[in-house]
Structure 1
Amino acid sequence: MLLSPLFAQTILPRAGVTLSTSSYEPYADFAEKSEKELLTGFTVGVGYDFFISDRFSLQPEVNFIQKGSKRNDIAYPDSYEYKLVTGYKLNYLEIPVLVKAKFGGVTKFYVTAGPTVSVGLSGTYSLKSTFAGLPEEPISSKVKFSKRPENYDGYDQFADNRIEAGVQVGGGVLLFGKVNVEARYGHSFTGLFDDTDFKNRVIQFSASMPINLF
């Protein structure tokens, strides 16, 4: 009985929504006005909560997660408004390894923190522009985690770095002993491109249902 809390194990199927942005500023030297929008996506996966003590546990996870960036840049050449709306939606397989600290009485609270490694799977890119209120032909293409072919003249975006390293911090509450509701913030330290600053920033809101193995 004394050993059971130390070796208790729980599986955590989880799902939620993501709100993401990035450090990407493609038209910083051109735009007179710029604003970022949070890009909505989703995440789904499973965690494995291995109890170290009654207050601390280690929680590795494997998650599918959507990240990306959307921004509006506006300039006024010859007093006419020129607006560019740029969007990236990126799909990753992400593996966080989180340390969880628990506290509280009847209602259980917890905080988490730890490193993450993400593997880029696929993505989409879009560019919409208007000049003097008149729309120009939009661009919609793929983001490919591969080397750009020689003499390629299409619109696909080729990401230099498939692997992303970062960190997550968050907190949550266990409701009724059955459902975890939590929020997290993820911050990447490595960029999508070698020659452009594009580091992902992601807020997650998720729920999980603990399943005790023993």
Structure 2
Amino acid sequence: MKKLFCLLFIAISFQSIGQFSIGAKIGSNINYIGSSVSGGNVYRTNIGFHAGIFVQLPIKDKFSLIPEVQYIQKGADVAFSNGFSSSTERINLNYIELPILLSYSPIKQINIDLGPNFALMTSSKATGVFSNANLDNVYSKFDFNISGGMRWNVASKVSVIGRYNYGLSKIEENNNVVVNGKTTKATYSNRTIQFGLSYQIAK
């Protein structure tokens, strides 16, 4: 993870590429934990937020490179029952993420972004009626996903961002999921839809 943060530092310092810009972003996200099979934990969506900084480095013509560092709340809600009552528990998975996005601007007002996203979990907890537990031994510390989306440049320094993050690495696995009467293995990964605003601080 240290190497990834070094990449951002190099990007900020590497002025020879061209005129670059630095900005900040903040927004909310709709989170979900996807399963490789139908069965096991029944995850539902929950809401989190994200905030971070980015650097936009022009490459050539309409292309640029955008490294980011952001804090993001992921996770899901899951329904539990103890036989007498039921409750929805909230799974909070918090990460420091480093997306490295290739951006294409077909017109001045629009950017299309796509690239890998590396994440390190900072904390994981379950909160609800039945539990208030630390989940650091349940979910993987590292996450890798592909991020893609669009930015609408509504003003010279302000953009509206929409993005989808699809997890490629497993954050949890269960070897005892019953599907159609048979026990099988299920793996789980993050899914996130992000909406936010960015502001260009310096250029």
TM-score range, shorter chain: 0.7 to 0.9
Partner residue in 2 for 1:132:
none
Report the equivalent of 1:60: 67
Which of 3, 11, 30 is the equivalent residue of 1:19? 30
* Alpha carbons of structure 1 residues 124 and 24: separation in structure 2 relative to 1, 3 Å: farther
1:161–1:194 contact (8 Å) kept in structure 2: no
**Corresponding position: 1:143 with 2:135:** yes
Larger Rg: 1
**CA deviation after TM superposition for structure 1 residue 193, in Å:** 2.4
Q: Indicate the structure with greater strand content.
A: 2
Q: Which runs of 5+ in 1 are unaligned?
A: 129-137, 145-157
Equivalent residue letter for 1:201 = R
Name the CA distance, whole Å, in 1 between partners of 2:171 and 2:85: 27
- Unaligned 5+ segments in structure 2 are 1-14, 175-185
CA contact (8 A) 1:114 1:168 kept: yes
TM-score (structure 1 length as normaliser): 0.73
1:9 and 2:9 correspond: no
Q: Which moved more, 1:90-99 or 1:49-58?
A: 49-58
Query: Structure 1 residue aligned with 2:165, among 181, 186, 199?
Result: 186
Q: Which amino acid aligns with 1:12?
A: G
Distance 2:112 2:58 in 1: 14
Which residue pairs with 1:86 in the alignment? 89
Q: Secondary structure at the match of 1:177?
A: coil
User: What is the one-letter code of the residue matched to 1:22?
Assistant: I
CA distance in 1, matches of 2:202, 2:51: 19
Alpha-carbon distance between aligned partners in 2 of 1:159 and 1:187, rounded to the nearest angstrom: 20
Deviation at 1:140, TM superposition (A): 1.3
Match of 1:165 in 2: 144
Equivalents in 2 of 1:67, 1:208: separation in Å?
A: 20
Q: Percent of pairs identical after alignment? A: 22
Q: What's 2:127 paired with?
A: 126
Structure 1 residues 143-166: Cα deviation after superposition (integer angstroms, max 9, x where no partner): 22xxxxxxxxxxxxx135211111
Task: Tell me the SS of whatever aligns to 1:8.
Answer: coil
- Tell me the CA shift for residue 11 of structure 1: 0.6
Aligned residues: 177
2:78, 2:91 within 8 Å by CA — same for their partners in 1?
Answer: no
Deviations 1:124-148 (A, max 9, x none): 11354xxxxxxxxx2111222xxxx
For 1:212 and 1:53, the matched residues in 2 are separated by 20
Distance 1:160 1:91 in 2: 11
Return the letter of the residue paired with 1:91: N
CA distance in 2, matches of 1:23, 1:84: 20
Aligned CA RMSD, in angstroms, stands at 2.8
TM-score (norm 2): 0.76
Aligned match of 1:133: none
Range moving further from structure 2, 173-182 or 36-45 = 36-45
Given that 2:33 and 2:44 are in contact with CA atoms closer than 8 Å, whether structure 1 keeps it comes out as no
Conserved 8 A contact 1:24-1:69? no
